[in-house]
Amino acid sequence: MKKEYTVGELASLFKINNQTLYYYDKIGLFSPIKRTKYSNIRKYSFEQIYELSTILYLKRLGLSLLEIKESLLQLTPETTNTILSEKSIELRKHLDEMIRIDSAITRKLEYIKKEKKNQEKDSNKIVYRKKRYYYNMGDETLLYSDESFYFYPTVAIYSAMGKSFGALLENNEKDVLEKENITTIPNGNYLIIYHIGPYETITEHRLKIIEERSDLKFSTIMFNFNIYDQFNVSDSNNYLTRMEFLLEE
């Protein structure tokens, strides 16, 4: 092995960019053992390979450069074990969050796929629905600060009391969601209508349907399920909402 390495040689050895070594030198994290007076050529000793490999190792573990700089001053088996244990805990938390986000993505894809099939099958029909559940997020002023709004399909509940919002729970998710205020969507017969357009036009559409279907006895409650919303399309004229009118017996 060589006794000394230039910036380019050391960078090539570790397959990193030359600028990385220049930056490490600039911040005082890893500096060359020699520097020529006039040409400013940097030279690193063979022994410094171990120090650089430690820096890159800690960097791969996710430590910041500042954390690495502080750690290098006090590395012992005990402190290394502490660093590794703390980083393992942090990574597991990050992994759990990534799994949760992936579950939300999968849930959204499956929901849209299913609802597009339902649109072809159930549009303008009376369908019997089993009991379903949603997490009650309250009115619109509370909606956007609730994490469930971003992770579950949204249901808007229209009733004589006004309008409120919920996060739709399917496949027994009510048993795993660690939240209170789980509310039931009652079983029963529902008239299914699909609405295309902004949310502001839903009320008008609702009144039109009630007027046109005078043969049916509507309850005072309606559930609107977002299929294509602001998370799917940029033009609100393309929003797709499934309107479910609960019918009285």
Contacts of 124 (CB under 8 A, 6+ apart): 191, 192, 193
Is the pLDDT confidence value at 15 over 80?
yes
- For 179, the 3-state DSSP assignment is coil
Is the pLDDT confidence value at 179 over 70?
no
Rounded Cα distance, 213 and 115, in Å:
24
The 8 Å CB, 24+ separation contacts for 39-42 are 41/6, 42/6, 42/7
Rounded Cα distance, 209 and 163, in Å:
18
Is the pLDDT confidence value at 180 over 80?
no
Q: Please give the model's pTM, rounded to 2 decimal places.
A: 0.66
Q: Which range (126-130, 177-181, 215-219) has the least confidence?
A: 177-181
Percentage above 70 pLDDT, the chain: 94
Is the pLDDT confidence value at 151 over 60?
yes
Is the pLDDT confidence value at 162 over 70?
yes
Give CA torsion, residues 138, 142, 144, 145, to 10 deg: -120
Position 246: which residue type?
A: L
Residue span(s) of the chain under CATH 3.20.80 come to 99-247
In CATH terms, the fold of domain 99-247 is: Multidrug-efflux Transporter 1 Regulator Bmrr; Chain A (3.20.80)
What confidence score (pLDDT) does residue 157 get?
Answer: 94
Please state which architecture CATH assigns to domain 4-75: Orthogonal Bundle (1.10)
Is the pLDDT confidence value at 174 over 80?
no
Output DSSP code: residue 173.
G
Token pair for residue 132?
């379903």
Is the pLDDT confidence value at 165 over 90?
yes
What confidence score (pLDDT) does residue 177 get?
Answer: 53
What confidence score (pLDDT) does residue 71 get?
Answer: 85
What confidence score (pLDDT) does residue 171 get?
Answer: 61
Rounded Cα distance, 185 and 104, in Å:
21
Q: Which range (34-38, 140-144, 214-218) has the least confidence?
A: 34-38
What confidence score (pLDDT) does residue 178 get?
Answer: 54
47-80 pLDDT per residue, tens: 999 999 999 998 988 889 998 998 888 888 888 8
Q: Which range (134-138, 148-152, 217-221) has the least confidence?
A: 148-152
What confidence score (pLDDT) does residue 240 get?
Answer: 94
Q: Which range (41-55, 95-109, 171-185) has the least confidence?
A: 171-185
Beta strands in the chain (DSSP E): 4-5, 34-35, 42-45, 125-129, 132-138, 154-159, 162-169, 182-185, 188-196, 218-228, 240-247
Calculate the average pLDDT of the chain. 88
Is the pLDDT confidence value at 197 over 90?
yes
**3-state DSSP: the chain helix, strand, coil percent, rounded to 5?**
45, 25, 30
Residue span(s) of the chain under CATH 1.10.1660.10 come to 4-75
- For 154, the 3-state DSSP assignment is strand
Output DSSP code: residue 116.
H
